[in-house]
């Protein structure tokens, strides 16, 4: 009986932790914007800009795209090196607001909710 109670308590705790993580995503602390030649064209570490970027970034929505495997690669002209407290990732970015994590495998494509605002921040 004690094992059962312990398992239930652990399950509830894990549910709470997973729910709080989803509500509080990891904050972006630095962004490097690279052009198609991988040259850095902008570094972002200003806190007010990062606050706006975090708001827009975490309100992105996954989109359905064609089964054409070239879709994610063909339209992205910029690379974003995004640093958080948990590490860093490289994302592909298109100035129309499409983003996808850089990967050798087929990964989801997302659309940013405010592409014009973020374009003004990311692309000089």
Q: 35-51: per-residue pLDDT in tens?
A: 999 999 999 999 999 99
Residue with tokens 């990964």: 107
Query: What's the predicted TM-score (pTM) here?
Result: 0.74
The answer to whether residue 3 sits within a structural domain is: no
Distance separating alpha carbons of residues 35 and 58, to the nearest angstrom: 23
For 36, the domain range is: 27-122
Distance separating alpha carbons of residues 11 and 68, to the nearest angstrom: 41
* Structural domains in the chain (count): 1
H or E stretch at 90: strand 87-94
The answer to whether residue 6 sits within a structural domain is: no
Q: How many CB atoms lie within 10 A of CB 64?
A: 6
pLDDT in tens, the chain (124 residues): 566 555 555 555 455 444 434 456 899 999 999 999 999 999 999 999 999 999 999 999 888 765 555 565 668 899 999 999 999 999 999 988 889 999 888 888 888 988 888 888 898 8
The answer to whether residue 57 sits within a structural domain is: yes
The answer to whether residue 15 sits within a structural domain is: no
User: For 27-37, how does the pLDDT look when each residue is reduced to its tens digit (9 = 90+)?
Assistant: 999 999 999 99
Give the CA distances from residue 4 to residues 12, 13, 86, 107, in Å, rounded to whole numbers and listed in that order.
12, 14, 34, 39
Tell me, what's the pLDDT at 23?
52
The answer to whether residue 16 sits within a structural domain is: no
Tell me, what CATH number does 89's domain have? 3.30.1490.410
């Amino acid at each position: 009986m004690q094992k059962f109670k312990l398992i239930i308590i652990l399950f509830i705790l894990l549910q709470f932790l997973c729910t709080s993580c989803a509500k509080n995503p990891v904050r972006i602390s630095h962004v490097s914007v690279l052009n198609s030649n991988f040259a850095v064209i902008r570094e972002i570490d200003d806190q007010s800009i990062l606050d706006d970027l975090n708001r827009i970034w975490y309100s992105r929505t996954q989109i359905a795209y064609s089964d054409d495997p070239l879709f994610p690669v063909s339209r992205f002209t910029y690379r974003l090196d995004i640093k958080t407290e948990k590490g860093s990732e490289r994302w592909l970015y298109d100035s129309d607001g499409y983003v996808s994590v850089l990967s050798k495998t087929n990964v989801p494509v997302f659309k940013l909710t405010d592409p014009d605002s973020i374009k003004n921040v990311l692309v000089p």
